[in-house]
Chain A
Amino acid sequence: MNNERLTAFARQTGTILATLVGLLILTFCIGRLMPVDPVRAIVGEEADQATYDMVAERIGANLPLHEQFFRYVNDLLHGDFGTSIRTGQPVINDILHVMPATIELATFAIIVGAGLGIPLGILAAVRRNRPIDHVIRFMTLIGHSMPIFWTGMIGLIVFYAVLDLVGGGGRISDYYIGLVPDTTGFLLIDSMLAGDWEVFWDAVNHLLLPASILGYSSMAYITRMTRSFMLDQLNQEYITTARVKGLSKGRTIWHHAFANIRVQLVTIVALAYGSLLEGAVLIETVFSWPGFGQYITNNMLIGDMNAVMTCVLLVGIIFIALNLLSDALYKIFDPRTR
């Protein structure tokens, strides 16, 4: 038994390692394919041949490809993700600097998405094929089909330009910039720590629209999944048994059906949280939100190779980790998978 577990563990570790190596090969290829000469990008256009050769030697640009790859992996293992060509800073520092803005946005969005999506999904399943189910399914379908950058702009036109209810682009109004000390990078937390409620509410005002629009797209996904999980449960015989035994409908739904889909829901919400990175790329561009999404896009447009490679690697690792987490959750909470 113990031996069996060990084998399973070894196999899973092997799978993860293989995926990671593949991921590294992928990011390496993307970096090498980029139409940017890394040496030229560092030394500039006017540098003479001697300087060029020296820098090429130092960063290993003239080594054979496989040696360059080993060098890349070796650097990564030593925590060196390379230096951004644009800022001259270590890429990882730049990313850590922009991450809080995106986490703030995504966290708000997932609260909206899960907070609305799970109840709506349950409601749609319980009232299957009734008018309310059709309305909810139509809403989720629109959420799936809309180009999120467009929704963001329509939101800006309606709620900012016409109704003037929310702040425009950016995390905060221009005249509040730099008023609170940058302790954690999370603007809401920083302004609370500083006790500056004016800044806090201004930040909330700016966060509301982009986060709601991101949240709508993840709500669409969460609602759809919740509905189908719930339908699976409601069609099972134990539900009929519980009802026949005289349990009320509400009790059956909450204590039996919903209890059984909680693990699935947690994993879905975790994956949806990760997928927000994708929407963040577009929404951050629309709202001039200085986060990870905008950082990726800007560096891709100017061809900052090290930054792009690290961002892609990071996104890949986040998703692999989320998938592992959801597998682990199933194993812990669902005895059948043991």
Chain B
Amino acid sequence: MTANSLDMQDTAMHGSRSGQNSMLRRLFAVIRELLGNPSSGFGLVVITILLLTAIVAPLIAPYDPNIVDLGNTLQPPGAAHWFGTDELGRDILSRIIYGTRISLTIITIVSVIVGPIGLIVGTTAGYFGGWYDTIMMRITDIFLSFPSLILSLAFVAALGAGLENAIIAIGLTTWPPIARLARAETLTFRGADYISASRMQGASSLRIIVKSIMPMCLPSVLVRVTLSMATVILTAAGLGFLGLGAQPPLPEWGAMIATGRRYMLDNWWLVAFPGGAILLVSLAFNLLGDGLRDALDPKQR
């Protein structure tokens, strides 16, 4: 009886039985809506290209990104090297192509870490309230009282420079706004009738949070994570540029700009192209995030 009615409640919540078919259909609907709008369509296309480039990097890169060719240093963009070569004669286009792998690694790890942490902290704090909520929100307050780059810098200084530590540091600074958002959403659902109903039917707190609250918070958390990725890309590049993130000779875009800086006044292509790549990806995440918000979260439109 209980199981049956919970099932019915599930059905009522999602509108239909959440079979794989309807999930897929919903996904396609969202993608279609994103592509229907030129700006979010642009974002989606750029990020898809980024993803594909990272996967097939060795196939499309014209040169080996690490091969040093001292006879061919600082070549301006031309037919042989579309984006020119750097101070060691390495092909800049190939390095940017391989750099997509590093950017994608950073984005994937950070979002896999911060999304769930933010969601769990936010929903539990909002649902249970009391001292647990107070402590959690004080902690997020402390993190939020810093600009993200400065806090990441401090963590990297503490942990040591390098790509792994940069990822950890960025993750540490990215979850608090997500937790805040999930908590605010939870507070609006907490008093809803269907939550009281499932509590009266004897559902445990864990079940209510996982089955009833988290799915409701998911769309706005997803939007928030996507928008955060724009900042994450910029922070990672900033750390790389300051010499605290990915270290040369890794083809990380920020680190490429840092080494190119010495030669930039006469060789603009050393900094212009990697920076353009950062701008493009960050822009794409901003546009995609805005588009997702319109598609998933109509009430914020």
Chain A interface residues toward B at CB < 8 A: 15, 18-19, 22-23, 26-27, 29-31, 33-35, 141-142, 144-151, 153-154, 156-157, 160-161, 274-275, 277-278, 281-282, 285-286, 296-297, 300-301, 303, 308, 312, 315-316, 319-320, 323
Contacts and interface: CB of A to CB of B under 8 A. Distances in A.
Contacts of B265: 156-157, 160-161
A103 to B, nearest CB: 16
B275 A156 contact: no
A146 B147 contact: no
Nearest to B270: A153
Contacts of A157: 264-265, 268, 271-272
Contacts of A308: 154, 157
Contacts of B261: 153, 286
A106 to B, nearest CB: 13
A274 B139 CA distance: 20
Contacts of B279: 142, 145-147, 150
Interface stretch (B59-67, B103-111, B235-243): B235-243
B48 to A, nearest CB: 18
A8 to B, nearest CB: 16
Interface in B135-162: 138-139, 141-142, 145-151, 153-160
Given A22-B139, A150-B278, A34 B234 contact: no
A30 B271 contact: no
Contacts, number: 135
Interface residues of B, number: 44
Q: B149, B158, B254, B282: which has the most chain A beta carbons within 10 Å? A: B158
A316 B145 contact: yes
A147 B254 contact: yes
Interface of B: 138-139, 141-142, 145-151, 153-160, 230, 234, 237-238, 241-244, 254, 257, 261, 264-266, 268, 271-272, 274-275, 278-279, 282-283, 286-287
A19 B264 CA distance: 44
A157 B115 CA distance: 39
Contact of B241 (A26, A149, A323): A149
B145 A319 contact: yes
Q: A147, A274, A278, A323: which has the most chain B beta carbons within 10 Å? A: A147
B242 A150 contact: no
A300 B153 contact: yes
Given A145-B286, A160-B265, 6 more contacts: A22-B139, A154-B271, A161-B266, A285-B241, A315-B147, A315-B150
Contact of A312 (B150, B234, B237, B268): B150
Given A145-B283, A153-B257, A300 B145 contact: no
Nearest to A168: B265
Given A141-B286, A144-B286, A145-B286, A301 B244 contact: yes
A151 B272 CA distance: 9
A34 B155 CA distance: 9
Contacts of B151: 312
Given A145-B283, A278-B150, A285-B242, A30 B278 contact: no
Contact of A153 (B150, B159, B271): B271
Given A35-B160, A153-B257, A142 B149 contact: no
Contacts of B271: 150, 153-154, 157
Contacts of A315: 146-147, 150
B145 A33 contact: no
B275 A30 contact: no
B257 A145 contact: no
A30 B154 contact: yes
Contacts of B159: 33, 35
B147 A300 contact: no
Nearest to B279: A146
